[in-house]
C-alpha cells in the first residue's frame, strides 16, 4: 500500500455532535466509539450560555489528553451572530483538529476564517469544515469546495445540514428525503471534484434506529463518507454502514494483489477475478484497506 494512501485517510463514519454546554456529555466523550466529535457552540447552546460553553471547552481541552482515536471539531456560531469572535478565540486556545463553520453560503465564509487562523498563527493542521445547509450554500457548493484546493484555505470537509435547508425551502420533514436527494448529490459531487470528504446530515429521531439505518444505507450508496449524529445510540449503526464490509475488504485486497504481481508492474489495466481493473481502482482499494487497518488497529487497542 502506498504511504500517501495511508497518510491521507481519516475515518469519518460517525460524527457525533456534543453540546459544549453539557459537562456530563463532555465527560463521556473519551469512552465513545465515534470517529469524530463536534463540540457544538451553535444551535445546542442558548445565547446566554455561550460564554459558559466556551469555558467548558477550554477546561475540557486543557484537562483531557489528546483524543488520539478521535478527530475533534468545534462548531462555532456564524460571523453575523455576534458570537463568532469569542468562539474563534476559544478555537485558537483549544486547538482542535478542525473548526466547523455553520451556514456557509459561499467561499468568502471559508476565506474569512482561514485568514483569522493565519493571523493567529494557528497550526497548519487545524482544518476547516463547512456546513452546507442553506439554499445559497447548495447552489455554491462547487465554489465552496474549490477552496480545498486553495493554498492556506484549510478546507477539509463538507457537512450537509438538512434541518435548516428544509426550513429555508419549505420541504416538510415528514416527506422523507426524496425531494432532497438532488441537493445531497450536488454537495457530494462538489466535494469529490475537489478532493474533500463529505458528511451526511443528522437523523433527528434517535429512538427510531431502523429509520436511521435506512438513512445510513442511503447515504453510503450516495457516496457520503459518514453521518452526523446527535445521540450515542447512532454511533454503532453509522460505523457499521459507513465502514468497509468484509466483501469490500476482500475485493480491495484482490485488486491490490493483482497490481502487486511482477507482471503488472508496467500495466495500467490488469485482470482480477475475471474483471478488468484500472489503476484508479487500485487507488480506491488502497484507501479502503487503509480505513480497514485503522478500524482493526483501534479494535486491537481497545481489547
- To the nearest 5 percent, what fractions of the chain are helix, strand and coil? 55, 15, 30
Intra-chain end-to-end CA distance of the chain, in Å: 26
- Are the beta carbons of 235 and 32 closer than 8 angstroms? yes
Q: Which three cell numbers stand for residue 275?
A: 474483471
What does the longest C-alpha to C-alpha distance in the chain come to? 67
Q: Coil, helix or strand for 74?
A: strand
Does 257 carry a binding-site annotation? no
Taking the C-alpha atoms of residue 34 and residue 297, their distance in angstroms, rounded to an integer, is 15
Q: How far is CA 113 from CA 110, 143, 238, 301, in A?
A: 5, 16, 30, 36
Taking the C-alpha atoms of residue 258 and residue 277, their distance in angstroms, rounded to an integer, is 9
Classify residue 261 by its DSSP letter: S
DSSP letter string, 220-233? HHHT-SEEEESSGG
DSSP letter string, 48-62? GGHHHHHHHHHHHHH
Number of Cβ within 10 Å of residue 133's Cβ equals 23
Q: Which three cell numbers stand for residue 13?
A: 463514519
Residue corresponding to grid cell 481493473: 277
Does 75 carry a binding-site annotation? yes
- Are the beta carbons of 162 and 192 closer than 8 angstroms? no
Strands 269-272 and 275-278: antiparallel
Does 164 carry a binding-site annotation? yes
Which residues belong to the annotated binding site? Answer: 75, 133, 164
Which residues belong to the annotated binding site for substrate? Answer: 75, 133
Which residues belong to the annotated binding site for Mg(2+)? Answer: 133, 164
Amino acid at each position: 500500500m502506498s504511504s500517501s494512501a495511508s497518510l491521507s485517510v481519516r475515518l469519518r463514519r460517525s460524527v457525533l455532535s456534543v453540546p459544549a454546554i453539557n459537562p456530563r456529555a463532555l465527560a463521556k466523550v473519551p469512552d465513545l466509539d465515534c470517529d469524530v466529535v463536534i463540540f457544538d457552540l451553535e444551535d445546542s447552546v442558548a445565547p446566554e450560555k455561550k460564554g459558559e460553553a466556551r469555558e467548558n471547552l477550554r477546561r475540557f481541552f486543557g484537562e483531557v489528553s489528546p483524543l488520539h482515536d478521535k478527530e475533534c471539531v468545534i462548531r462555532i456560531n456564524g460571523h453575523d451572530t455576534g458570537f463568532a469572535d469569542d468562539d474563534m478565540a476559544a478555537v485558537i486556545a483549544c486547538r482542535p483538529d478542525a473548526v466547523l463553520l455553520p451556514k456557509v453560503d459561499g467561499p468568502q465564509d471559508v476565506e474569512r476564517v482561514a485568514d483569522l487562523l493565519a493571523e493567529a498563527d494557528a497550526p497548519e493542521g487545524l482544518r476547516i469544515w463547512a456546513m452546507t445547509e442553506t439554499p445559497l450554500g447548495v447552489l455554491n457548493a462547487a465554489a465552496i469546495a474549490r477552496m480545498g484546493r486553495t493554498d492556506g484555505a484549510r478546507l477539509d470537509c463538507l457537512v450537509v445540514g438538512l434541518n435548516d435547508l428544509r426550513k429555508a425551502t419549505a420541504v416538510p420533514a415528514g416527506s422523507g428525503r426524496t425531494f432532497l436527494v438532488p441537493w445531497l448529490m450536488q454537495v457530494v459531487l462538489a466535494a469529490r471534484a475537489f478532493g474533500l470528504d463529505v458528511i451526511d446530515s443528522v437523523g433527528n429521531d434517535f429512538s427510531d434506529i431502523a429509520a436511521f439505518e435506512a438513512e445510513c444505507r442511503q447515504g453510503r450508496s450516495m457516496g457520503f463518507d459518514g453521518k452526523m449524529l446527535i445521540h450515542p445510540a447512532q454511533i454503532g449503526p453509522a460505523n457499521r454502514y459507513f465502514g468497509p464490509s468484509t466483501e469490500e475488504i476482500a475485493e480491495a485486497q484482490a485488486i491490490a494483489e493483482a497490481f502487486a504481481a511482477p507482471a503488472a508492474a508496467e500495466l495500467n489495466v490488469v485482470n482480477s477475478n475475471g474483471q478488468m481493473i484500472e489503476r484508479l481502482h487500485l487507488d480506491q482499494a488502497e484507501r479502503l484497506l487503509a480505513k480497514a487497518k485503522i478500524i482493526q488497529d483501534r479494535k486491537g487497542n481497545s481489547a
